[in-house]
Amino acid sequence: MKFELEEYHRNISEAEFLADLDRVSKEIGKNTVTTVQYDERGKYSSSTIQRRFDGWLNALKKAGLNYDRKNLTIDNENILEDLRFVAKNINKKTLSKPDYEIHGRYSISSVCSFQDME
């Protein structure tokens, strides 16, 4: 087994974040990127980018990508997966709104618009 240190991401420039956002958008073949898509393929954390640019939509705008909320839909499967993940991590069978606001990945309005497909 070979031991390798992971790259330490400190003092990353805005240009590096934006270039990586652009790379991910090209990789997925879309002019926009959701936080889920970025976390699956990006070099950095979407939450770090959100903090740096004061929100995900601001980062998309600066990267020259589509930042219209209407085009950033989250599919039901991702919402359901995140609800299960949060419930498991905080060891609860049911979640309250505050539980999810603290631990969840998506906005409460996205979760409330979730429609069970079964």
pLDDT of residue 14 exceeding 90: yes
Q: Residue ranges per domain, the chain?
A: 14-71, 76-112
Number of H helices, E strands in the chain: 7, 0
CA–CA separation, 39 vs 107, rounded Å?
Answer: 16
Q: Which residues contact 93 (CB under 8 A, 6 or more apart)?
A: 87
- More reliable by pLDDT, 75 or 16: 16
Give the pair of three-digit tokens for residue 10.
Answer: 């400190």
Model pLDDT, residue 30: 86
| Residue 118: band (very low, low, confident or very high) from pLDDT cuts 50, 70, 90 | very low
Fill in the DSSP letter of residue 5.
P
pLDDT, tens digit (0-9, with 9 covering 90-100), for 61-83: 999 998 766 555 567 777 888 88
